[in-house]
Structure 1
């Protein structure tokens, strides 16, 4: 099973280590598209800081992110699985998985990125700031920039098994499975169930959506419950104690009462 993840704005500190080696990254078919984004991003952040912050959607308090981007080619790199530290990744807890679960994670997880397109959690990358919704002055919208390269590279990564899509909308726009692969893709929505005046009400959660997705992915990896067919995914999650509903083909609702 291939699992598609969003990145995280939260990232570990630079630390120490060798700088980025673009040739070492997974999905080498993306190398040219990666270099185009990296080159323009570094040039943008080396120039007018105010313009760079405007393009990247950063506040004045986040000006250090501009300097960080300017130094991307020489900055220390670390595995993507260690770099991302946001809500989903904190709940997933890659570092505390047992050895078997870590092997499953290395084989199945693919992280989308406005800068890199998509990387494996073992790919060594530097800390950066460039969301999938950014529009660079030269390249334009990054979602559009990545569609063709990812459409060419990712079907082979998916193989013949199911695809579990846990991405947010900005990163889902970079690549949408089509044809037969779309029929094997399952997206997950997290709903909160509350009793209001004796009546159940459900609402889509936002911040805790990420935490729930991280926890359910951790549970799947730990239990070795990565199904070989999309129809078995709901069953696997139910076996792990989740309340799961199937509102339509390729869609799962995970219903939670406590966040």
Structure 2
């Protein structure tokens, strides 16, 4: 089983030091070189910040980074809903072994892989770096990683467009008053991931998502979409 998940703009800052995988290390060094030498306007663009004091703070944090496992690095709504640290050992093992986070800076990252602190607004690039190009270069690697796996896609639409699985996969859609939700979907994707981890898979997931009404499934090409009302 492989569960595809989105990152978040919110990150946890730590002073802990651990080794980085070679690909992450190379990309991170390019990022640091840019951050160290970039004009304020360039940093405003890639970080989505306006205030000078905010930019100076993130620049300092970026240059004096700490390292955490990817699943603990992010602090957004979906990660709060997941509540990784509150899961039992067996459920945490499912997360660490199965989840692949689609970082917009480092590419597909295993939940257990170390990541440094960074900030990069969704869809933004810097110097010669572009998220879309990175995923194009890693497409074959992703195909091989997912081959023969039960694939569960809990990514946001931006990341779904970066890579589409070649074999059958499951995805989720959340509706409110018959319309797709966007911001709240982050929360429910985190809830779905938590329940999948607790139950060791997607089997009968509709019975475990309390507070959601299962509307049915839709099959299209090699995708089965599970639709819920909130």
Question: Could you say which TM-score interval applies, normalised by the shorter chain?
Answer: 0.7 to 0.9
TM-score (norm 1): 0.77
C-alpha displacement of 1:77: 0.5
Residue 16 of structure 2 corresponds to 17
Q: Tell me, in whole angstroms, the C-alpha distance in 2 between the residues paired with 1:21 and 1:35.
A: 6
Residue 102 of structure 1 corresponds to 92
Q: Tell me, in whole angstroms, the C-alpha distance in 2 between the residues paired with 1:62 and 1:169.
A: 28
Residue 27 of structure 1 corresponds to none
Q: Tell me, in whole angstroms, the C-alpha distance in 2 between the residues paired with 1:216 and 1:206.
A: 15
C-alpha displacement of 1:52: 2.1
Q: Tell me, in whole angstroms, the C-alpha distance in 2 between the residues paired with 1:162 and 1:91.
A: 23
Q: Does 1:148 align with 2:137?
A: yes
Q: Secondary structure at the match of 1:248?
A: strand
1:4 and 1:167 in contact (8 A); partners too: yes
Q: 2:196 aligns with which of 212, 220, 230?
A: 220
C-alpha displacement of 1:6: 0.5
Q: Secondary structure at the match of 1:136?
A: coil
1:244 and 1:254 in contact (8 A); partners too: yes
Q: Does 1:185 align with 2:169?
A: yes
Change in Cα spacing, 1:68 to 1:154, as seen in structure 2 (3 Å) is same
**Which of 1 and 2 has greater Rg?**
1
Q: Deviations over 1:112-143 (max 9, x none)?
A: 1122112112112121102441122323x321
Unaligned runs of 5+ in 2: none
C-alpha displacement of 1:94: 0.7
Unaligned runs of 5+ in 1: 24-30, 194-201, 228-232
Q: Deviations over 1:205-257 (max 9, x none)?
A: 12211111111221121122x15xxxxx5xx2223255142233314243233
C-alpha displacement of 1:97: 0.7
1:91 and 1:215 in contact (8 A); partners too: yes
Number of residue pairs the alignment of both structures matches: 222
- RMSD, aligned α-carbons: 2.1
Deviates more, 1:237-246 or 1:3-12: 237-246
1:19 and 1:126 in contact (8 A); partners too: no
2:16 and 2:67 in contact (8 A); partners too: yes
Q: Does 1:133 align with 2:126?
A: no
Change in Cα spacing, 1:172 to 1:135, as seen in structure 2 (3 Å) is same
TM-score (norm 2): 0.86
C-alpha displacement of 1:36: 5.4
Q: Deviations over 1:82-116 (max 9, x none)?
A: 11111101111111111111111111101111221
